[in-house]
Chain A
Amino acid sequence: GQNIDQPTEMTATEGAIVQINCTYQTSGFNGLFWYQQHAGEAPTFLSYNVLDGLEEKGRFSSFLSRSKGYSYLLLKELQMKDSASYLCAVNQAGTALIFGKGTTLSVSS
């Protein structure tokens, strides 16, 4: 079967660092994507990992361990506008993405 797990909710304060974890068990794997989604809007692409290790892109970084079926998204220097849902998605066989249920992050001042 297919299973992608993320925490449902997380809270943090401005300026802090937060790590959102994602574990997956899927029948195929061609990489893992992270998306950000604000309420009522479409998801926007944040990062992609297909090899083990850390990918850094500004305030956001994403890590992948294929042997452990594990990824995390690291957000640094949190801002209020980072309050959103963060979706972990696995790319199966290069076609559609299979999404986890998303993690709702609330950033407070």
Chain B
Amino acid sequence: GAVVSQHPSRVICKSGTSVKIECRSLDFQATTMFWYRQFPKQSLMLMATSNEGSKATYEQGVEKDKFLINHASLTLSTLTVTSAHPEDSSFYICSARTGAAYNSPLHFGNGTRLTVT
């Protein structure tokens, strides 16, 4: 069964509004979660690493003031897209490892399809 739960699966919002996406680890604690973005027919691009109890680490070119990440507990990370614009429309996916070993695979949530009108 799923080990990472993501909600909502789809969201449509108006330009200028904010959208919050939740990512939960099921039956395990995740001190680190990863947020990816995927545009149509392109690969997964790492946006940021979410760290429980501390600030997220953002990849180059990702605006931290626009994509707010909060990892307040060991099982929940949230990504808020602030002041969304049509170019933010994309597939956002969170992921986490169930184990600490480097060979532990990333497990992905089912993704959130964001459409900004």
Binding site for B on A (CB under 8 A): 30-31, 33, 40-45, 48, 50, 87, 91, 94-102, 104
Contact = CB atoms under 8 A, between A and B. Distances in A.
Nearest to B2: A42
Given A41-B110, A43-B108, A94 B102 contact: yes
Interface of B: 6, 32, 34, 36, 41-46, 49, 91, 93, 101-103, 105-111, 113
B113 to A, nearest CB: 7
Contacts of A40: 91, 111, 113
Nearest to B47: A96
Given A41-B111, A42-B111, A101 B106 contact: no
Nearest to B44: A99
Contact of A96 (B46, B93, B105, B108): B46
A91 B105 CA distance: 9
B49 A48 contact: no
A87 B106 contact: no
Query: Which one of B34, B93, B108, B109 has the greatest number of beta carbons of chain A within 10 Å?
Result: B108
A101 B113 contact: no
Given A87-B43, A99-B43, A42 B102 contact: no
A48 B101 CA distance: 13
A89 to B, nearest CB: 8
Nearest to A50: B103
A37 to B, nearest CB: 9
Nearest to B93: A42
B34 A91 contact: no
A97 B109 contact: no
A101 B42 contact: yes
A87 B108 CA distance: 13
A97 B102 CA distance: 10
A101 B29 CA distance: 30
Given A44-B108, A99-B45, 9 more contacts: A41-B110, A43-B44, A48-B103, A91-B103, A96-B46, A97-B34, A97-B46, A101-B42, A101-B43
